[in-house]
Structure 1
Amino acid sequence: MGRSVQLPRIIAQWFAARGWLVRAHQQAMLDAAARGRHALLTAPTGAGKTLAGFLPTLADVATNPAEGLHTLYISPLKALAVDVQRNLLTPVAEMGLDIRVETRTGDTPAARKARQKEQPPHILLTTPESLANLLSSPEAAAMMAGVKRVIIDEVHAFGTTKRGDQLMLCLARLQRLAPALQRVGLSATIADPESWAGWLAPDADATQVEIVVAEGGADPAIDILVIDDRIPWGGHNGRWAARAVMRRIEAARLAIVFVNTRAVAELVFRDLWAENDNALPIGIHHGSLAPEARRKVEAAMAAGKLRAIVATASLDLGLDWGDVDLVIQMGAPKGASRLLQRTGRANHRMDEASRCLIVPGNRFEYLEALAARDAVQAGELDPDGFRPGALDVLAQHVVGCAAAGPFYPDELYDEVKSAAPYAGLTRESFDAVLGYAATGGYALKAYERYQRLVALPDGRLRLRSAALARQWRMNSGTIVEAVAMNVVFGSGKSRHHGRRLGQVEEYFAGQLRVGDSFMFAGQTLEVTGFDGADIHVRMGRGSPKVPVYAGGRMPMTTRLAARVRGLMNDRARWPGMPDDVREWLAIQARVSRLPGEDDVLVETFQRDDRWYMVVYGFAGHPAHQTLGMLVTQRMERAGLKPLGFVASDYAMACWSLDPVDDPRPLFDPTVLEDELAEWLAASPFLRRAFREVAIIGGLIERVQPGVHKSGKAMSVSSDLIYDVLRRYEPDHLLLTAAWTDARGKLTDVARLAALLEQAHARLSHVRAAHVTPLAVPSLLTIGRERIGDSADSALLLEAEALIAEAMRVD
């Protein structure tokens, strides 16, 4: 193993002045760097993970000072990059090191970006999108030639996503520009370090990747909020407990209140403020707020000027605010790894327990919260399913490479295959991507706008014009948000004359009229006018509407679902549950039965003039949503007159005019592929998936200088191209990519297929005399859809009748 590397005196003195010793995992990272190895560090919250990642850089620059970019740090969040800069600048200044640390994200001013190319800092903190943009510059080769290390923080946030595909393609390019580059991955929540080491450095042999595991650390303290042994029947975001949550915030020094979607963030902020009797300073943070608004909240948090902040996933990765002593999770966390990650935002000290309070939205979510806590305490994290790299991302990358300068196809193919997601890419597939990037494909090559690459006499390919490079940089990236409109505070004719608060989706904005009020940035705003892409607002009052946002729903993981089933069937655990939950399960077992650990329970019953079927699949919302589409389609063919369905993470409920006497044929797995293909082709899912891959793949431009492209215009463009390709080139690269996305992300076909196989092998059908306790949450959802959220009294009466019927034991 050899002797351990010694810290330079200036850094060793800094450690000694604080009474610190170099932890074993920090020393291991120093030693790995000295041996020229890549490294993957898994460490609990408060273990000095980020410092361990940067320590070899600080030691090297302190010992061998030189100008130029030394280390790239890749963050999944802009906020995390800013936070790391703030936390890194302090020790650098205290040590007296001559090291410049800067950020480069989409929020960085253009002038600073230009200066960074000419005079790069020693350490550049950035995101995958900004790194890809930087690598598309002709100056990239010179700027990156001396880079020695790249640190990927929260590496688990990348591996199974298109952002991960983009990042690994960028790292493959970096490795070519700087062959001695060392790759470093940091995470607190990966279940299989060996697999992640292979993803991080796929070309390295096993001895070249050091896996470092930090030992020790206090176990997290996770509680579940229960008031008077009562848990609601319906709901999914914990808003019922706002008053109790506010009391917990009052007792804490600083709290982060996590929610799962941006819309819920606005609602929870309003609820907490209504219970904020002491007028404590509370902030809100989510991805639709303007950069200035997010930075203001982050700065206030870091300065200790807030007592709580309501946040989405925009703050759940790696942020180190030492004064946070309580994390509150509103609604179920949907996965053990996510719960551990968010809990880790509290008490950033390795020897102190991080405290988290889960506020379940309903009784199913209580079981899910309990299961997630059990999993964390058992050290059981959610596994990550690696998949082949997306071809639309590769197509974008190819054009970005051409923007940096001409390339030889053979060389680029070898480079791309060195990225883990594309290690299995065939030359045939690569050539198809290359052909698409050059001409748009067979059906589109006659259109000049899709002609992007031209061949040089020596066989290299180059970009057709400099204008295409500029356009590529404005539209690159793999995160496709719905088309949005700017929310501008003030009555100026342009957003430049008002204060930009952020964005809401165009679909929601289209429902607004002058004088309407809506919630945004934690405030009630009144619409005063519209100007192109801008909604002008002022402070409002009354009952506001709440913005809607596409996506954001996180399905419960498969492993967590199995634990929920186990809890329902483990009667030894029931006495420790709230009275409401224990009674709910006990009466369910008497009037019907509980879902088994390895079967699929299907209940049928009549209520009023309709017949209901509830399927307890525990397969997550996307799979149940697709199951609803599939089953009602089969019911229609069988003449059962289906009327509709609803889906949750736990169940799918559908209703019809005629009863389902035998549900088994509805779950036949043998014709799934054919039916799914037919349904997807006719559904909006495939068109939606195509729109996303067309944007990523560069067929549709999101941004043009000085032009606001409406959602309607983008949808029309997307649909026209989709119809042309379906008719003239059905095997087009982007249609294939859209099918892959629709089957995976939008419909979760893998979990659906497993559910159908399970139902085919072990289906338990109960013909219930009336609605059952487990069915109530689903039927309450139906009630909300029928009645509408404004009919509170009618909904309450419906809910009371349902509950009374379900809890009746004949």
Structure 2
Amino acid sequence: MTQLPDPISQWFSTRGWSLHPHQLAMLEVASEPATLLVAPTGGGKTMAGFLPTLAELASAPSEGLHTLYVSPLKALAADIRRNLETPVAEMGLPIRIEDRTGDTSYTRKKRQRADPPHILLTTPESLALLTSYEDAPRMFAGLQRVIVDEIHALAESKRGDQLILALSRLQAMAPGLRRVGLSATVEDPGAMARGLACHPDPCRVLVADPGPAPDIAMLDLPEPPPWAGGGGRYAIAEVLEAVRQHRTTLIFHNTRAQAELFFHALWLQNDDDLPIGIHHGSLAREQREKVEAAMVRGELRAIVCTGSLDLGIDWGDVDLVIQIGAPKNVKRLVQRIGRANHRYNAPSKARLVPANRFEVVECIAALQAAQENDLDGDLKGPGPLDVLCQHILIRACAGPFEADALFAEVRTVGAYADLARAAFDDCLEFCATGGYALRAYDRWQRLLMQGGLWQLRDPRAAQRIRMNIGTIMDTDTLKVRIKGRGGAPLGEVEEGFAATLTPGDTFLIGGQIVRYENLREMTVEVTRRADREPKIATFMGTKFATSTELSHRILGMFRQPSWPELPDHTARWLALQREVSRLPEEGRLLIESFPRDGRAHTCVYGFAGRNAQQTLGLILTKRMEEMGLHPLGFVATDYATLIWGLEPLSDPAPLFDIAALRAGLETWLAGNAVMKRTFKTSATIAGLIERNLPNAQRKSGRQATFSSDILYDTLLKYDPDHLMMRITRTEAMRGLVDFGRIEEMAMRVQGRIDHLTLQRVTPLAAPLFLEPGKVPVEGAGRERLLAEEAERLMEEAGLA
């Protein structure tokens, strides 16, 4: 056990504080090769992670880098540095603490490599960059510990894959390295521990006392929510009243566009002029920092926000969290709840506001899951190969390497533990030559073998590789600034949205309405306006799909004879559905067919999440077209897909054969922009496409898309089995179209289909007619309608 030196013990004693059991436990296991601590928000997780480091440095001061702290957010790294510097100074410990992110100056970064601090706080991208330098072995030789904070947030994305590959590199440079993971929300601690461990070493799991149960419930609303749509603006008055009754409230939204709309509506009804801010990832850094500083000083009564405030930054005296719209994911709800009463043994308080009638059911399911600490999480697949390609290029920047040694190194980390040598060799060959169809081009001839070692063909290529490190793919965005010399930056909007603007158009950004004036040097120039009805910027934030866990819970609720936990209006709605049709069941697929407005409608209740239900609509309408049913369009939600056409469906069974569904998806993907979009993302991560160039302006989205489209078409024609094409197919199936959820649904029902032919629309299907985002189907059905309309017109004209 690492003992607590006197300066640290005295510091705790003078404040009347004692260590929590899980903090003491972290000292006891300080020498373990890997440790995962799962502790509630406000439980001192970060201090628990750093205590062994502080104890070791206080007992035996050393030179050089001792501990590396990695967080998902730049702001979190900076916040932890501030929170750590104060106690270290008060303890009188000679420990240097610094952060290193994309915001750190060049001179400071250069000095950190030559003279690193004892504790360095950084992000996955900055860490990957550090490992790419020739002097990395000298910098990391004495590294003792890596602390990965909010490890759940990293584990779910390619940033997590990038990080564990960087850890494999660090372990090779510092064999005695110990790994620590910290999180408040881990659905499967064993799986997370295996991902953190250096194989075959084990990882110890410590689970802290979760503390008191959170106070979570639905916000008391006098009126039922609308039948469809999102945003929660019907509840503005009740949300404002809740803000008035609390010191500081975080109002979470699932998308940035919804946050902007809600903030605007909130401000228009804020008759008391309560100080309220907005915070999301598309706002300019200056705007975000201004809001963060006001929050820490306690000057704001509420912040309308998105996932940018999900993680563990200490935001001051927050005593209420409001989630607008169903959280879609239990872990996300628990994480957001923890932002209130950020103290150990103080219950968090949160209220949920469903955006529409069906979300009432989803919110209740999420509340029950959170109260039972039943967290959701889909199984993570094998490590993505585009990230591995980037890692190989990063390794080459640091100097010559042996293929066998790098392969063995990569296989020490979780997602790549089962990596086949053939797959590794494919990635290495791609990095060296670009692959069969591209090997004739000098620009992709990047590695060569010399003396049994792989190395960069041209050492100058290292600069270009370093400039493109990272797995976060920005959607194509343009900066927004107030027009005029030195105009204030406001944030970013998507390039596609900017292309629709003409001078005079107004839109929302940062909670204010602005007027589009012109596009100047890839910057949208605007002036401020006082209009009340703006256009809305289409921000790039993720549209979450309801998790598998929540879908199963909702289906479980449908089995109940009655629903005392639901509001009366929602319980009556479900009861009416059961009366005139039936409710969807676990292990069966409910399909309803009914006529409406001269069209045949089919509603498929797959409960597979929005992306999968959307994909299902695309595949089913294509197959219905082949069957002569003349589909005209569809719309999808998280729980159902509604299709309309000219001919009724008599037998749905042939539509849901899993092999036919997969074949239909692959046919659809082959000629669809989804594949090109996926290819562009994976090719950028793998290093085939460069977004950043030395001494050049960053490529615009259109330029990058153009070059990636040419590459995609070339490989599709001449080398369809190219590594990048295989990666693209895998990513498209797993990510954008969520085909795995469709397969899960098909396996769940195993052909057990309940097809009900009814005379009119059903209660559960009715809200789908009100949903936005209807997708038209161009095919024989539309041609038939045009022909019939032409015939009617000719009859009227006396020409038939």
TM norm structure 1? 0.93
2:435 matched to 1:441?
A: yes
Contact preservation (8 Å) 2:34, 2:197: yes
Write the distance in 1 (CA, Å) between the matches of 2:504 and 2:280.
Answer: 25
The one of 755, 763, 772 aligned to 2:753: 763
2:27 is matched with which residue? Answer: 30
Please state how far the C-alpha of 1:769 moved relative to its aligned partner: 2.0
Contact preservation (8 Å) 1:79, 1:314: no
The amino acid across from 2:604 in the alignment is: V
- The alpha-carbon distance between structure 1 residues 57 and 276, as it changes in their structure 2 partners (threshold 3 A), is same
- The alpha-carbon distance between structure 1 residues 426 and 44, as it changes in their structure 2 partners (threshold 3 A), is same
Contact preservation (8 Å) 1:236, 1:365: no
SS at match of 1:111: helix
Please state how far the C-alpha of 1:692 moved relative to its aligned partner: 0.7
Please state how far the C-alpha of 1:783 moved relative to its aligned partner: 8.6
Contact preservation (8 Å) 2:605, 2:640: yes
Identify which range, 226-235 or 677-686, moves more after superposition: 226-235
2:684 matched to 1:695?
A: yes
2:21 matched to 1:12?
A: no
Write the distance in 2 (CA, Å) between the matches of 1:489 and 1:92.
Answer: 42
Write the distance in 2 (CA, Å) between the matches of 1:315 and 1:359.
Answer: 18
Write the distance in 1 (CA, Å) between the matches of 2:89 and 2:259.
Answer: 37
Please state how far the C-alpha of 1:760 moved relative to its aligned partner: 4.8
Percent identity at matched positions?
A: 51
Please state how far the C-alpha of 1:358 moved relative to its aligned partner: 0.8
Write the distance in 2 (CA, Å) between the matches of 1:670 and 1:432.
Answer: 28
2:478 is matched with which residue? Answer: 485
1:411 is matched with which residue? Answer: 405
Contact preservation (8 Å) 2:225, 2:234: no
2:790 is matched with which residue? Answer: none
The one of 75, 80, 83 aligned to 1:79: 75
SS at match of 2:409: helix
The amino acid across from 1:354 in the alignment is: S
2:454 is matched with which residue? Answer: 461
Contact preservation (8 Å) 1:402, 1:463: yes
Please state how far the C-alpha of 1:550 moved relative to its aligned partner: 4.0
SS at match of 1:774: coil
Q: What is the number of residues matched between the two proteins?
A: 774
Write the distance in 1 (CA, Å) between the matches of 2:225 and 2:279.
Answer: 28
The one of 167, 191, 194 aligned to 2:163: 167
Write the distance in 1 (CA, Å) between the matches of 2:483 and 2:110.
Answer: 32
1:664 is matched with which residue? Answer: 653
The one of 699, 702, 711 aligned to 2:701: 711
Please state how far the C-alpha of 1:710 moved relative to its aligned partner: 2.2
Contact preservation (8 Å) 1:433, 1:733: yes
2:359 is matched with which residue? Answer: 365
Write the distance in 2 (CA, Å) between the matches of 1:30 and 1:326.
Answer: 33
Q: How does 1:563-582 map to 2 (within 5 A)?
A: 563-572=553-562, 574-582=563-571
RMSD over equivalenced CA pairs, Å? 1.7
Contact preservation (8 Å) 1:484, 1:504: yes
Write the distance in 1 (CA, Å) between the matches of 2:689 and 2:89.
Answer: 46
SS at match of 2:650: coil
2:123 is matched with which residue? Answer: 127
Identify which range, 664-673 or 439-448, moves more after superposition: 664-673
Please state how far the C-alpha of 1:768 moved relative to its aligned partner: 2.3
Identify which range, 172-181 or 746-755, moves more after superposition: 746-755
Contact preservation (8 Å) 2:248, 2:300: yes
SS at match of 1:575: coil
Please state how far the C-alpha of 1:652 moved relative to its aligned partner: 0.6
Write the distance in 2 (CA, Å) between the matches of 1:226 and 1:595.
Answer: 28
Q: What are the Cα deviations for residues 290-312 of structure 1, in whole angstroms up to 9, with x where unaligned? A: 22222222222112121111211
2:305 is matched with which residue? Answer: 311
1:533 is matched with which residue? Answer: 522
Q: What are the Cα deviations for residues 475-520 of structure 1, in whole angstroms up to 9, with x where unaligned? A: 111111211111122323xxxx433222111111111122221111
1:546 is matched with which residue? Answer: 536
The amino acid across from 1:108 in the alignment is: T
- The alpha-carbon distance between structure 1 residues 741 and 664, as it changes in their structure 2 partners (threshold 3 A), is same
Write the distance in 2 (CA, Å) between the matches of 1:87 and 1:464.
Answer: 45
Write the distance in 1 (CA, Å) between the matches of 2:564 and 2:194.
Answer: 45
- The alpha-carbon distance between structure 1 residues 204 and 90, as it changes in their structure 2 partners (threshold 3 A), is farther
Contact preservation (8 Å) 1:229, 1:578: no
Write the distance in 2 (CA, Å) between the matches of 1:160 and 1:321.
Answer: 24
Contact preservation (8 Å) 2:635, 2:775: no
2:296 matched to 1:302?
A: yes
Please state how far the C-alpha of 1:96 moved relative to its aligned partner: 2.3
1:602 is matched with which residue? Answer: 591
Q: What are the Cα deviations for residues 227-281 of structure 1, in whole angstroms up to 9, with x where unaligned? A: 2252221122322212211111121111111111111121121122112222122
TM norm structure 2? 0.94
1:116 is matched with which residue? Answer: 112
The amino acid across from 2:314 in the alignment is: D
Write the distance in 1 (CA, Å) between the matches of 2:772 and 2:760.
Answer: 16
Please state how far the C-alpha of 1:551 moved relative to its aligned partner: 5.5
The amino acid across from 2:105 in the alignment is: P
Write the distance in 1 (CA, Å) between the matches of 2:168 and 2:132.
Answer: 14
2:53 matched to 1:57?
A: yes
The amino acid across from 1:447 in the alignment is: Y
The amino acid across from 1:390 in the alignment is: P
Contact preservation (8 Å) 1:647, 1:653: yes
Write the distance in 2 (CA, Å) between the matches of 1:273 and 1:504.
Answer: 22
The amino acid across from 1:580 in the alignment is: H
Q: What residue ranges of structure 2 are gaps of 5+ in the alignment? A: 777-800
Write the distance in 1 (CA, Å) between the matches of 2:33 and 2:434.
Answer: 41
Identify which range, 181-190 or 401-410, moves more after superposition: 401-410
2:643 is matched with which residue? Answer: 654
Contact preservation (8 Å) 2:389, 2:428: yes
2:145 matched to 1:149?
A: yes
1:67 is matched with which residue? Answer: 63
1:779 is matched with which residue? Answer: 769
SS at match of 1:396: helix
Q: How does 1:178-327 map to 2 (within 5 A)?
A: 178-206=174-202, 209-228=203-222, 230-327=224-321
Please state how far the C-alpha of 1:347 moved relative to its aligned partner: 0.6
- The alpha-carbon distance between structure 1 residues 501 and 687, as it changes in their structure 2 partners (threshold 3 A), is same
The amino acid across from 1:32 in the alignment is: V
1:723 is matched with which residue? Answer: 713
Contact preservation (8 Å) 2:634, 2:775: no
The amino acid across from 1:270 in the alignment is: H
2:738 matched to 1:748?
A: yes
Write the distance in 1 (CA, Å) between the matches of 2:659 and 2:690.
Answer: 40
The amino acid across from 1:641 in the alignment is: H
Please state how far the C-alpha of 1:597 moved relative to its aligned partner: 2.6
Contact preservation (8 Å) 2:594, 2:757: yes
The amino acid across from 2:471 in the alignment is: T
SS at match of 2:270: coil
2:85 matched to 1:89?
A: yes
1:556 is matched with which residue? Answer: 546
Please state how far the C-alpha of 1:771 moved relative to its aligned partner: 1.4
Contact preservation (8 Å) 1:231, 1:580: no
1:393 is matched with which residue? Answer: 387
Write the distance in 1 (CA, Å) between the matches of 2:527 and 2:223.
Answer: 43
- The alpha-carbon distance between structure 1 residues 462 and 428, as it changes in their structure 2 partners (threshold 3 A), is same
Identify which range, 191-200 or 777-786, moves more after superposition: 777-786
2:488 is matched with which residue? Answer: 499
Please state how far the C-alpha of 1:611 moved relative to its aligned partner: 1.4
Write the distance in 1 (CA, Å) between the matches of 2:223 and 2:262.
Answer: 22
Q: What are the Cα deviations for residues 371-421 of structure 1, in whole angstroms up to 9, with x where unaligned? A: 011011112111341211111111111111111112122211111111211
1:791 is matched with which residue? Answer: none
Write the distance in 2 (CA, Å) between the matches of 1:280 and 1:782.
Answer: 33
